[in-house]
Amino acid sequence: MKDQSEYNVRAVERALQILSSFDNEHPERGVSEIAQLLGLHKATAHRMMVTLLNYGYLERTADGERYRLGLHVADLGMRVLRRLDLRREARPYMRELVDRFQETCDLGVFNEGEVFYVEVIQSGRALTIASQVGQRLPAHCTASGKAFLAFLPPEEAEAVLARPLKRYTERTICDPEQLRAQLQEIRRLGYSFDDEEHEPGVRAVAAPIRNRQGRVAAALAIVGPVSRIETERFPELGEALMTAAAAIARRMGW
């Protein structure tokens, strides 16, 4: 019985590893690729992927040669998102910010060194810039990400800064010392910013939402094109975001 139990646990672990191997950079993978990545025999990988396919966790691409995450994964994710009271309490304040500034507002949480977006309210303008619910973006070059890094316990922030800091634009800060200096400035201001550091032509400002223990539970951000979000507006947007973040925290009982 013990051997069977251990086998079952290993099978679950492998299935989870297969699902976790799909990300923004690798939304589609083949059986051989999965087998090599996870150190599995090709027949084992194929058998497990077919099982995941049958249960809706994976689906085949149009050519039938590769796999991608299935709709059942999205359904499970949305069940979790619907449970988050934070989204419900934040929406009215996000709507107020969108109405006031006519720019997109998003809400993100920190997960595995990245920002995971749980809510987005887009502006009604013809040109809008927005992340998507469920999207992950790097922490070191986004306004929301830096709102987390600036106020995380030092050891947690340093774990992110110790990784290679990928360059996305000419303005991306890839030097840890330079980023540490900016994070210190963010702590002084109380809000963070992204000045074309993740996408050219895009700026964002964000503020942390703190929980009962004073830790940053989420980040609230306004994002838009540089033509409408001048750097001179950062203080105005920052103040509005900090006010909204504090109100959301109170609504959450924090």
238 and 112 within one domain: yes
| Alpha-carbon span 132 to 76, nearest angstrom | 17
> What is the domain-level CATH number for residue 176?
3.30.450.40
Within this chain, do residues 25 and 128 fall inside the same structural domain, yes or no?
A: no
Pairing label, strands 114-121, 67-69: unpaired
Q: Which of 209, 231, 220, 139 is nearest to 176 (CA)?
A: 139
User: Closest by alpha carbon to 218, among 229, 227, 228, 207?
Assistant: 207
C-alpha distance from residue 206 to each of 70, 191, 196 (Å): 32, 6, 14
Does the pLDDT at position 94 exceed 90? yes
Q: Are residues 178 and 104 in the same domain?
A: yes
Q: Averaged over 50-70, what is the pLDDT?
A: 92
User: pLDDT band for position 29 (50/70/90)?
Assistant: very high
List, for residues 158-215, the tens digit of each pLDDT value: 999 999 999 999 999 999 999 999 999 999 999 999 999 999 999 999 999 998 888 9
Q: What pLDDT does residue 111 have?
A: 87
What is the predicted pLDDT for the residue at 244? Answer: 97
The whole-number pLDDT of residue 157 equals: 93
As for how many domains the chain has, the answer is: 2
Structural domain boundaries enclosing 171: 84-251
* 77 vs 19: which has the higher pLDDT: 19
Domain holding 35: CATH number? 1.10.10.10
Tell me, what's the pLDDT at 170?
Answer: 96
What's the whole-model pTM score?
A: 0.70
Higher pLDDT, 85 or 122: 122
Last residue of a domain, one of 44, 75, 106: 75
Same domain, 124 and 227: yes
Asked if pLDDT for residue 2 goes beyond 60, the answer is no
Q: What's the pLDDT tens digit per position in 13-25?
A: 999 999 999 988 8
Chosen domain end from 52, 75, 98: 75
With 80 as the cut, is the pLDDT of residue 1 above it?
A: no
Spatial CB neighbours of 147, under 8 Å, sequence gap ≥ 6 = 186, 191, 192, 206, 207, 208, 216, 219, 221
